[in-house]
Structure 1
Amino acid sequence: MKTKYTLLFFVMLALTLGNSYAQSWGYNNNRIAISFDGNSAPDHQYKWPIGDPDDWGASAASLAIIAKLGLQDQLVHCSYNNFIDAPAGPDSENQNKISCDGAISRWHFNAGNFYDVTTQLEEAKTNLASEMASSTADNPLYFIHAGLSEFVYQAVKKAIDLGGLEALKYVKLVSHSGFNENETRRDWHHTWSDIQELCGNRIQYHKIIDQNACGKPDVLWCSGKDFSPWYWMRDHQDEGIRFLYKRAQAHKAGKADISDAGMLYWLFTGDENGSPEKFKRFLGNGILNSMQLSK
């Protein structure tokens, strides 16, 4: 029954946008996993103590994109604060947790598939590794690489330990950021190239254009300190969309930056050149929650 409504959503989405968009890279309502960085608690052993705060808004926006299409059940893993060896912070100041918990309560995601890596590292690794190791040609896993690579490296290593080396051929990793692929916060951390070496280049890889264009407010997913392209979220009839605006406002440097959300937008629409206006059309009148979908 849910599949019927999901297909209906895609038809309605195409009509709303006035274009017929194709899902990218063979995606066909398959499993999705995401890992964000964006740690809030300062890591004083690293040159930039606070994590990239664009994830605070991007995590909420990414989950909204999934929920808009009624694909909550396809999100099998969502980890955040994935800087390995960084400290945990109080929940009241944990900006990624605030974003994810807000999305869970509004759009009825399975809370058991969400992990704060600073407090649930082993659980998060085991979950992601198990999803990777269970991948097949008919059941691929699409992984959205929205954080640094060390956590992913550890999950891939665990998947191999679980006997899932050949299954990694059916994991499809989407990236847009050389920083996420290559930056290390400790000397012993690993990069994306290390992951590929570890798995013998089995994981499939697709990199779209960098989703930041902060000096051009009307294109892509960052408008610098100019929030005006996003005022439609602030003024939306749907409280859940207004929530997205508040999460974007949480950015520590006062930037309107939800750039990591562009990867899921590309996966579902085939368009790697998203924009505030395109996102507005995508979300339309708002997000129908899963309780309504099941009726």
Structure 2
Amino acid sequence: MQVCAETSPWTSNNRIAISADGNPDADADDVGATPMTLAVLAKAGLQENLVHYDFNNFLEYKKIDPDQNRMWQSAMGGQSRWGFDRDRFFDASIDPEGAVSHLAMEINRSTAADPLYLIAGGPMELIYRALAAANADARQHVKIVSHHDYNEYFKPRLWHRNWNDIQTLVPNIGYLRIKDQNGNNGSGLKGSSIEDFAWLKEHADRNLNWVYERIAAGKPDVSDTGMLTWLLQINGDDESVTIPEMQQWFGRDIIPNQNGTSDTPPAPQGVTPKVTPPKTQKTFEEVDGKLVIEAEDVPLTDQWKVENKEPGFSGTGYIRWMPSWINKISHQHQGVLVYKLRIHTPGKYRMALRSSHRGAPERDKWNDCWTLMGLNPVHPYGITRKTYHSINQQQFDDDAGFTWHTTHDNYGSVAKNEGHFSTPVYQLDEGDHYFWICGRSGGFRIDKIHFFKEGVSGFKSDSEPTTPVLSTEQ
């Protein structure tokens, strides 16, 4: 059950679990937020209340070498300094199974009298797996705390699960959504520069000096700590606490370290993740350098809908992305559709979507989707392409408004290498490939998908028949 929380229901005997990201490609805020969060727990004397802490929770992502494992330094450094139970800390990039199993064990301990407060400081695939492994009765007594769309919806791999899937798995799960803790006009725990945290550097407590160093190693943003400060009601009924208020709360006293030590255990060797491709119901087979796909010929997710067939359409019509949250789309990973492609003739393949946004109401003011070719991790800075219908609503080839105008609108690292705009072309070797479409613009319509090898005729022709569709057994 979702609650837009103002007052924390947490009591001093309740258990707390935290799942954080911080992987090298992730936002660097967790590098400082994790030690700050542990410092807050230690200052409050709640080491025993913290029953689980996992970090680097981009599952199936990338191997992290010890010298790049910044979250190990932050999490295990805080664990050792303030005497937290080391057996409750898990680097999910090294031991994902252990992290999931341990969190599931804590979920199984949950009852109405002993709920588990689970702070979501990263993507939710690990949380989903733990909930799926736990007893159905116990998971009803978990209360997830969140403050941002990114944690709720971002997927390091597009076949992972997010907040939408958790709601389907546990419809009555507790959900405490507080306002964004990144802050605005001095509110929240996101500083404008590292100097906003200079009081930690100048504190008499050497462990707080170390927290300053970890923030400086990441960025002056410990906003995820705001979920814990709200939970503990450090600022009363106010949902957020400011940096000066945090300084005042810490005071001048040294935090008891519970027999902790300043020696951070060395980071272990990284582990190359085992990546299991997603299961699909169908495989789309290339013939003579062509793949012609009806967009609706895969299971639809989230708010993708099949519109009624109109004259001139093949198949059952076209699909349309119709999210209810049209004015607050800030993430890439809802409405994920996967097309498994089987290539017999290797080479460079052009891609185009037969799509439209003609005659659209106000909700259809955009004209694009997200696309990704392959099983690569979804790098937050440009690998997932914004793919759009590059034509205005007054220029159309037919009455329905569908054309094959398709362009990548690049950003981040891809824009630096390929320019702001580029033509969708992929090098496809012989074998199976995965092409992904994610919903972005409300009302955007897609009828067909073409992959044609360079030099093969018929690309962007409405008359091309669909190519074979195989069952997963074939």
| Superposition TM-score, scaled by structure 2 size | 0.51
Supply the AA of the counterpart residue of 1:266: W
Asked if residue 35 in structure 1 is aligned to residue 10 in structure 2, the reply is: no
Distance across 1 between alignment mates of 2:250 and 2:67: 29
Asked if residue 233 in structure 1 is aligned to residue 208 in structure 2, the reply is: no
Please tell me whether the aligned partners of residues 36 and 55 of structure 1 are also in contact (alpha carbons under 8 angstroms): yes
Asked if residue 196 in structure 1 is aligned to residue 167 in structure 2, the reply is: yes
Q: How far has the Cα of 1:286 moved from its partner? A: 3.1
Distance across 1 between alignment mates of 2:10 and 2:70: 33
Aligned partner (choices 163, 184, 187) of residue 158 of structure 2:
187
Please tell me whether the aligned partners of residues 16 and 51 of structure 2 are also in contact (alpha carbons under 8 angstroms): yes
Q: Specify the alignment match of 1:19 in structure 2.
A: none
Tell me, what secondary structure is at the counterpart of 2:48?
helix
Larger Rg: 2
Percent identical residues: 39
Distance across 1 between alignment mates of 2:63 and 2:117: 28
Distance across 2 between alignment mates of 1:56 and 1:264: 16
Q: Specify the alignment match of 1:250 in structure 2.
A: 217
Supply the AA of the counterpart residue of 1:147: G
Please tell me whether the aligned partners of residues 166 and 202 of structure 1 are also in contact (alpha carbons under 8 angstroms): no
Asked if residue 59 in structure 1 is aligned to residue 34 in structure 2, the reply is: yes
Please tell me whether the aligned partners of residues 148 and 182 of structure 1 are also in contact (alpha carbons under 8 angstroms): yes
Q: Specify the alignment match of 2:109 in structure 1.
A: 134
Kindly provide the CA deviation profile for residues 128-164 of structure 1, in whole angstroms up to 9, marking residues without a partner as x: 01111110112111101101011111111111xxxx1
Distance across 2 between alignment mates of 1:26 and 1:191: 24
Any gaps of 5 or more consecutive residues in structure 1? 1-21, 41-49
Q: How far has the Cα of 1:84 moved from its partner? A: 1.2
Distance across 2 between alignment mates of 1:97 and 1:281: 28
Going by fraction, where is helix more abundant, 1 or 2?
Answer: 1
Q: How far has the Cα of 1:237 moved from its partner? A: 0.7
Q: Specify the alignment match of 2:357 in structure 1.
A: none
Distance across 2 between alignment mates of 1:94 and 1:105: 16
Q: Specify the alignment match of 1:5 in structure 2.
A: none
Distance across 2 between alignment mates of 1:84 and 1:31: 24
Q: How far has the Cα of 1:24 moved from its partner? A: 2.0
Kindly provide the CA deviation profile for residues 42-88 of structure 1, in whole angstroms up to 9, marking residues without a partner as x: xxxxxxxx112101100101111111111101111100000011113
Supply the AA of the counterpart residue of 2:173: I
Distance across 1 between alignment mates of 2:7 and 2:102: 26
Distance across 1 between alignment mates of 2:19 and 2:10: 21
Asked if residue 166 in structure 1 is aligned to residue 162 in structure 2, the reply is: no
Q: How far has the Cα of 1:184 moved from its partner? A: 1.4
Tell me, what secondary structure is at the counterpart of 1:173?
strand
Any gaps of 5 or more consecutive residues in structure 2? 1-5, 261-474
Q: How far has the Cα of 1:91 moved from its partner? A: 2.3
Distance across 1 between alignment mates of 2:114 and 2:201: 38
Please tell me whether the aligned partners of residues 67 and 289 of structure 1 are also in contact (alpha carbons under 8 angstroms): yes
Point out the more displaced range, 281-290 or 94-103.
281-290
Point out the more displaced range, 90-99 or 173-182.
90-99
| Superposition TM-score, scaled by structure 1 size | 0.81
Kindly provide the CA deviation profile for residues 153-193 of structure 1, in whole angstroms up to 9, marking residues without a partner as x: 1111111xxxx111112111110011110111222011112
Q: Specify the alignment match of 1:99 in structure 2.
A: 74
Aligned partner (choices 182, 186, 197) of residue 212 of structure 1:
182
Please tell me whether the aligned partners of residues 10 and 232 of structure 2 are also in contact (alpha carbons under 8 angstroms): no
Q: Specify the alignment match of 1:288 in structure 2.
A: 256
Q: Specify the alignment match of 1:69 in structure 2.
A: 44
Give the paired residue count: 251
* Higher RCO structure, 1 or 2 (CA under 8 Å, sep 6+): 1
Distance across 1 between alignment mates of 2:176 and 2:12: 16
Supply the AA of the counterpart residue of 1:39: N
Distance across 2 between alignment mates of 1:39 and 1:135: 29
Asked if residue 149 in structure 1 is aligned to residue 124 in structure 2, the reply is: yes
Tell me, what secondary structure is at the counterpart of 2:59?
coil
Q: How far has the Cα of 1:29 moved from its partner? A: 2.5
Distance across 2 between alignment mates of 1:280 and 1:178: 28
Q: Specify the alignment match of 1:259 in structure 2.
A: 223
Tell me, what secondary structure is at the counterpart of 2:140?
helix
Going by fraction, where is strand more abundant, 1 or 2?
Answer: 2
Tell me, what secondary structure is at the counterpart of 1:130?
helix
Distance across 2 between alignment mates of 1:272 and 1:287: 25
Q: How far has the Cα of 1:239 moved from its partner? A: 0.5
Please tell me whether the aligned partners of residues 194 and 215 of structure 2 are also in contact (alpha carbons under 8 angstroms): no
Q: Specify the alignment match of 1:268 in structure 2.
A: 232
Supply the AA of the counterpart residue of 2:142: V
Tell me, what secondary structure is at the counterpart of 1:73?
coil
Q: Specify the alignment match of 2:245 in structure 1.
A: 278
Q: How far has the Cα of 1:23 moved from its partner? A: 8.0
What CA RMSD, in Å, does the superposition of the two structures yield over aligned residues? 1.7
Supply the AA of the counterpart residue of 2:140: K
Distance across 2 between alignment mates of 1:286 and 1:92: 30
